[in-house]
Amino acid sequence: MNETDLRHLRRCAELAARALSEGDEPFGSVLVGPDGAVLFEDHNHVVATGDHTRHPEFEIARWAAAHLTPRERAAATVYTSGEHCPMCAAAHGWVGLGRIVYAASSEQLGQWLAEMGLGEPPVRPLPVRDIVPGAVVDGPAPELAAEIRALHRRFRGLSG
Ligand SMILES: [Zn+2]
């Protein structure tokens, strides 16, 4: 993971903070082309829509399927504040997107939720590579852990 990766991950954290400010779960993701251009970005919309499949990584997969050739998808990188859930990992694998870089791992997120006394989510938080064996995945980014953790605590009404 290099400075460019961290810059895109910081943008994901900003998008996660925006989701939180809109009352939604703090997750944000960015799709970046091979030339470094940001192609698409989104944050979580599960509270706003009442649809718990509205994760930004899933929106990225759908956007990529609609707008990019298979070759372009394979060359694109998905940056995200939290490691893909199994649903989003599967969507990523099905549309043939490239590298994934995440700030916080599913394991970290699980630990943070457990610290907050929250139970298991309805979908098991498996690592991306358990869902997409060929995926190229980098993360977590220790530089962003405290910030991401604080966002998740604030979403649940706790201080950072
Ligand atoms: Zn997801």
Task: Using DSSP bridges, classify how beta strands 77-82 and 137-138 pair: parallel, antiparallel or unpaired.
Answer: unpaired
- Specify whether the CB–CB gap between 43 and 59 falls below 8 A: no
Residue 116 is encoded by which pair of tokens?
């907050």
What whole-number percentage of the chain has pLDDT above 70?
A: 99
pTM above 0.85, yes or no: yes
Q: Residue range 19-23: average pLDDT?
A: 97
- pLDDT value, residue 11: 98
Distance 71 CA to ligand 1 centre (A): 23
Q: Residue range 21-43: average pLDDT?
A: 97
- pLDDT value, residue 119: 78
- Specify whether the CB–CB gap between 95 and 73 falls below 8 A: yes
Task: Tell me which residue has tokens 């990766």.
Answer: 5
Q: Which helix (H) or strand (E) holds 9?
A: helix 3-21
- pLDDT value, residue 118: 85
pLDDT digits (tens, 9 = 90+) for 85-111: 999 999 999 999 999 999 999 999 999
- pLDDT value, residue 120: 80
Q: Residue range 49-77: average pLDDT?
A: 98
- Is residue 59 predicted with pLDDT exceeding 80? yes
Distance 2 CA to ligand 1 centre (A): 24
* Mean residue pLDDT across the chain: 96
- Is residue 80 predicted with pLDDT exceeding 90? yes
Residue 18 is encoded by which pair of tokens?
């925006």
- pLDDT value, residue 121: 84
Distance 91 CA to ligand 1 centre (A): 9
Distance 85 CA to ligand 1 centre (A): 4
Distance 30 CA to ligand 1 centre (A): 14
Count of C-beta atoms within a 10 Å radius of residue 149: 18
Distance 57 CA to ligand 1 centre (A): 6
Distance 48 CA to ligand 1 centre (A): 16
Alpha helices (runs of H) in 31-141, residue ranges in sequence order:
46-49, 56-67, 70-75, 86-95, 106-115, 128-131
Q: Residue range 55-83: average pLDDT?
A: 98
Distance 43 CA to ligand 1 centre (A): 11
